[in-house]
Amino acid sequence: MGGTGMIARLKGRVDRLADEHVIIDVNGVGYLVFCSGRTLQQLGNIGDPAVLEIETHVREDHFHLYGFAELAERDMFLLLQTVQGVGAKVALAILSALSVAEIQAAIATGDVALLTRPAGVGKRLAQRLASELKEKMGGIAPTAGAPVIAMTGPVEAAADAVSALVNLGYRKAEAEVAVRRAKASVGEGADATTLITAGLKALAS
């Protein structure tokens, strides 16, 4: 079961760091929290203040805390586990290898190769992630006949990126601005996946 009504956030100091977990000291109590590599890298050094969003897993044989630097990462952690074959360990491995924006971009474009990058994710599971999460995230995919926007470079990639961002729930106008910013940062010849990833980062900034 999830952590609703249980531990939802921890605020304290980094007591110990390991490859897959951290111990957070909260008023003298040490909480062992499993984290993705990306979150662990953001925690700083021993003694530094830390705030983690927490998802609590309670089973008959264990009580585990999973911590995230951002709510978006926690939400993706939960979404990934709705796919058969993805448990907490695999979900953390995916989040260690790929950012939330990269996962969203891979889903939007059906990039199975990108989804096989994390340890423990083979081609079959990557295909299942791409298809099932696309449905659960509102059919995120470049739509046919997407309007061509006034940008230099490959307009097809830009149009696909805008369409994917719109299907992610962003307004068309802000999606177009984000893709323009993405093209400025990653270059004129970028493909749709790169533009979506950079566009999501621009929208989050």
Structural domain of 53: 9-68
| 149 found inside a domain | no
pLDDT at 160: 77
Are 167 and 198 within one domain?
yes
pLDDT at 137: 66
Instruction: Give the tokens for residue 23.
Output: 């111990």
| 143 found inside a domain | no
Are 60 and 96 within one domain?
no
Whether 152 shows a pLDDT value over 80: the answer reads: no
Number of domains forming the structure of the chain: 3
Are 61 and 18 within one domain?
yes
Whether 107 shows a pLDDT value over 80: the answer reads: yes
Whether 87 shows a pLDDT value over 70: the answer reads: yes
Q: What is the pLDDT of residues 42-77, one digit of tens each?
A: 998 999 999 999 998 877 677 889 999 988 898 899
Report pTM.
0.65
Residue 8: HSE in the Cβ half-sphere, 13 Å Cα cutoff: 5
Are 75 and 131 within one domain?
yes
| 150 found inside a domain | no
| 76 found inside a domain | yes
For the chain, the DSSP string reads ---TTS--EEEEEEEEE-SSEEEEEETTEEEEEEE-HHHHHHS-STT-EEEEEEEEEE-SS-EEEEEESSHHHHHHHHHHTTSTT--HHHHHHHHHHS-HHHHHHHHHHT-HHHHT-STT--HHHHHHHHHHHHHHTT--SPPTTPPPPS-SS-HHHHHHHHHHHHHTT--HHHHHHHHHHHHHHH-TT--HHHHHHHHHHHHH-
Higher pLDDT residue, 147 or 83? 83
55: CATH: 2.40.50.140
| 80 found inside a domain | yes
Q: Determine the longest span between alpha carbons in the chain, in angstroms.
A: 59
| 148 found inside a domain | no
Mean pLDDT of 96-114: 88
The rounded percent of the chain whose pLDDT value lies above 70 is: 86
193: CATH: 1.10.8
Are 82 and 48 within one domain?
no
pLDDT at 163: 78
